[in-house]
Amino acid sequence: MSAGLLSLTVLALAIAGYILGRRRAVSVAGGDARKLHSLPSYHGQSVFLFTAVPAFILMIFWLLAQPVYIENRVTALIPNIEADDAAARELAMADVRRVASGLDLAIAQGALRQADLDTLQAGATDLRGKLAGVGVALGADVSQYTFEAAREYRALKGSLGIGMAVAVLAAAAVGFAFAWSRISVAFRARNVSESFVIAMLIGASLVAVLTTFGIVFSLVFETWHFFELYPARDFFLSTTWSPKFGGGSSLGILPLLWGTLYVSVIALLVAVPIGLLSAIYLSEYASRRFRTFVKPLIEILAGIPTIVYGLFALITVGPLLRDWFAQPMGLGNSSSSVMTAGIVMGIMVIPFVSSLSDDIINAVPQSMRDGSLGLGATPSETIRKVVLPAALPGVVGAILLAASRAIGETMIVVMGAGAAARLSMNPFEAMTTVTVKIVSQLTGDTEFGSPETLVAFALGLTLFIITLGLNVVALAIVRKYREQYE
Amino acid sequence: MNDMRIAERVVDSMESKITARGVQVFYGQNHALKDVDVDILDKTVTAFIGPSGCGKSTFLRCLNRMNDTIDGCVVKGSIKIDSEDIYDPKVDPVQLRAKVGMVFQKPNPFPKSIYDNVAYGPKIHGLTRNKAELDEVVETSLRRAALWNEAKDRLKSPGTGLSGGQQQRLCIARAIATSPEVLLMDEPCSALDPIATAQIEELIDELRSQFSVVIVTHSMQQAARVSQRTAFFHLGYLVEFGETGQIFTNPKDPRTESYITGRIG
Ligand SMILES: Nc1ncnc2c1ncn2[C@@H]1O[C@H](COP(=O)(O)OP(=O)(O)OP(=O)(O)O)[C@@H](O)[C@H]1O
Ligand SMILES: [Mg+2]
């Protein structure tokens, strides 16, 4: 029974459970639903949940565990002489899977019979030709051990498939019977379904949390590998970044961190004043019609793909800055510069600042403004002395979120600031950031185990810790702000 | 209503401070005030009474143009303070509000320290020359609002951390610190216990020697105790306006009588 069909069966069983459970609840109460502790539909729900949820959970775990188990069993059948290292073994297993699926197809189309399979010798029959006949092309003749492994693979898969169907259906039936037997006048089905809902919500948040942990764990793991190959001291303290494919490279993070900070600071210098002032205008002065029209327009800025900003930086802003500022001032003649990337990135994060700040300023109660205006303060005094101080923590949170967005940005930097790692104060010089280097180290041609590649993980982890720190600070500030008004 | 102690009715001055003629207020389609004529005398306490939603707060907000801040609110008619039309385009509403102080129906302290709350008005208007003078203004205002004893040890802690009734007294202190000429109070005692209420009423009576006070209240006893003039509003109309003693003992309009005896509202 396939997984799809099996889920449909369980679902059908659960729906039947809902209807029957409901009906039973009513009949237990002698037709008067008011005698029940919970509404009949809650009794139905409890049967539904007990039938479906454990069965589906079992099925998911089975489906996750089954391939691992089969793989282990079948790999053992491949002789060590044929595949001596992990990579060769992986290749051999790919062959086995291919032959197995070919056999499935051949039997389904009638080119082979199941009964023949047990006696078949790979060498005696032209298995390759037969499989090619059903559309599975193989690179070489099928060896005896591959064939046997494939046979075992199919057999295991078949019996485990049946095992899963039996186990899942049994779980569904047991759940059904258990929930069914619990239905009575006093049974608190409403509370049971409430607990189930809570469990489901916790489960969903666990998935999110576990995924985050998984990502962090893999980063930490590879970073550890990197530090085994490359001294951590040099990584954090060296001021040169010059990876050489073939060894002897210098992988200091400082020039990259400098570039990241420089670009982000320029971006914030652009975004914070513009974003904040426009937020103040929109929330305090603009008419409602103007606001509903303009706010989405500003938010569109956040929706433009970063590659488009990159183009804008490369083709318009870069040359403009070079021709009008950098060259006349004698500060260099590169069209990619920290300034270019910073300005364009600043434009991109304006909506992060303005939109969030606007919401936060709007959340300051009108009675605060009335209080200030009622004492004879002007609107701008009111904003400076009452509204902004009240909204400040939230606004800082918005700025920090914009900052972590700017730090993580890649595309605009590649196209606007270039890819040369450099420690320099000149804002019209090309520099690069951590994210850009992560991309270029991972897309290189080097072996995965070399420090030149693994450094990407160390860079990623460093960046992650920086943005995480910023986010934690931002969230803490925003939370503190919330406490004041709710 | 037997314990109604009618306050001293002697009005110190017959000079009219505020004259309102034919005031109409619309909130969009909602016609909230209809043709209101009121004369508020100088150095007098005027009480506005009436059932909830009848337009008392609305009329109060017309007197210092706080209605300007409400989207879609239109005020018609003429309101003159010291014979100057406050809705004249030449009048600066900011200046006006410094002259006509207001205590709002819901306490709205700023999320600043108690001290800064009270010092807010004097600071923006530059009423004091140095820190010592400012300290003094803060102290007298808090004393008059009957909050000094509770607040003197925590002047630096946030005003939002006070209890509801304390916040209301803080707002009163904040309003009188600016020394306005007219003080508008929208239910200033709604969250206060009897002792604080008595203190505020004493303050109102004391303030009368310097400026005119307009107070909105739902307590007939309070209106009778503190005011010299009473205006009764009903469904957007000013039904009756006159001497407090006359309104409470001998109302001319049957609606006023039913309201003060508790039959409508
Ligand atoms: N900001 C506003 N927007 C629209 N309508 C309003 C607004 N404020 C008041 N109104 C309407 O104006 C009318 C009078 O309201 P107002 O607040 O003046 O009543 P009130 O007499 O002060 O009542 P209460 O004693 O309950 O405070 C009500 O019908 C109310 O719905
Ligand atoms: Mg009111």
Going residue by residue through chain B, which has 265 residues, state the pLDDT in tens, using 9 for 90 and above.
Answer: 444 555 555 565 678 889 999 999 999 999 999 999 999 999 999 999 999 999 999 999 999 999 988 888 999 999 999 989 999 989 999 999 999 999 998 899 998 899 999 999 999 999 899 999 999 999 999 999 989 999 999 999 989 889 888 999 999 999 999 999 999 999 998 888 898 899 889 889 988 888 899 999 999 999 999 999 999 999 999 999 999 999 999 999 999 999 988 766 5
B56, B78 contact by CB (below 8 A)? no
CATH number corresponding to B16-260: 3.40.50.300
Write b or e for each residue in A463-476: b if 16 or more Cβ atoms lie within 10 A of its Cβ, otherwise e: beebbeebeeebee
End-to-end CA distance of chain A: 55
A82, A92 contact by CB (below 8 A)? yes
Q: Is B3 on the interface with A (CB under 8 A)?
A: no
Query: Ligand 1, from B26, B48, B57: best to mutate by most atoms within 8 Å of Cβ?
Result: B57
A235-485, CATH topology level: MetI-like fold (1.10.3720)
Over the stretch A272-328, which tens digit does the pLDDT of each residue have?
999 999 999 999 898 888 988 998 998 888 889 999 999 999 999 999 999 998 888
Distance from CA of B123 to the nearest CA of A (A): 10
Which residues fall within 8 angstroms of residue A14, CB to CB, at 6 or more apart? Answer: A47, A48, A49, A51, A52, A172, A176
Listed in order, the ranges of chain A carrying CATH 1.10.3720.10 are 235-485
Confidence class for position A486, pLDDT limits 50, 70, 90:
very low
Over the stretch A95-141, which tens digit does the pLDDT of each residue have?
888 888 888 888 888 777 777 777 777 666 777 777 777 777 777 77
Residue A434 CA to residue A427 CA, distance in Å, equals 17
For ligand 1, atom 20, the nearest C-alpha belongs to: B53
Over the stretch A177-216, which tens digit does the pLDDT of each residue have?
999 999 988 889 899 889 988 998 999 999 999 998 999 9
Q: Is B97 on the interface with A (CB under 8 A)?
A: yes
Helix (H, G, I), strand (E, B) or coil at A65: helix
Token pair 């009008």 is at which residue? A324
CB contact (8 A) between residue B108 and residue A385: no
For ligand 1, atom 26, the nearest C-alpha belongs to: B52
pLDDT at A15 over 50: yes
| pLDDT, greater one: A37 or B13 | A37
Token pair 């109309």 is at which residue? B237
> Which atom of ligand 1 is the closest one to the Cα of B50?
21
Distance between Cα B186 and ligand 2 center (Å): 7
Q: From residue B193, how far is each of B9, B92, B200, B204, B206 by CA, in Å? A: 26, 38, 11, 16, 20
Q: Which residues of B are less than 8 Å from A385 in CB distance? A: 120, 124
Shortest CA distance from A382: residue in chain B:
B124
Shortest CA distance from B66: residue in chain A:
A374
Mean pLDDT of A325-336: 85
What is this model's ipTM? 0.89
Residue B175 CA to residue B169 CA, distance in Å, equals 10
Tokens of B171: 């707002």
> Which atom of ligand 1 is the closest one to the Cα of B60?
18
Q: Which residues of B are less than 8 Å from A389 in CB distance? A: 111-112
Which residues fall within 8 angstroms of residue A279, CB to CB, at 6 or more apart? Answer: A353, A354, A355, A357, A358, A361
CB contact (8 A) between residue B69 and residue A389: no
The torsion region of residue B35 among left (phi > 0), alpha (psi -120 to 50) and beta comes to: left
Distance between Cα B57 and ligand 1 center (Å): 7
Beta strands B182-186 and B100-103 are parallel
Q: What is the pLDDT of residue B12?
A: 59
Tokens of A106: 């051949």
| Residues with a CB atom less than 6 Å from ligand 1 | B 27, 30, 32, 50, 52-58, 70, 105
Q: What is the pLDDT of residue A471?
A: 83
Please report the beta strands in B138-259, taking only residues with DSSP state E, as ranges in sequence order. 182-186, 212-216, 229-234, 237-243
Q: How many CB atoms lie within 10 A of CB B54?
A: 23
* φ/ψ of residue B192, rounded to 5: -105, 150
Tokens of A178: 């258990």
CB contact (8 A) between residue A385 and residue B160: no
Residue A114 CA to residue A182 CA, distance in Å, equals 47
Q: Which residues of A are less than 8 Å from B121 in CB distance? A: 375-376
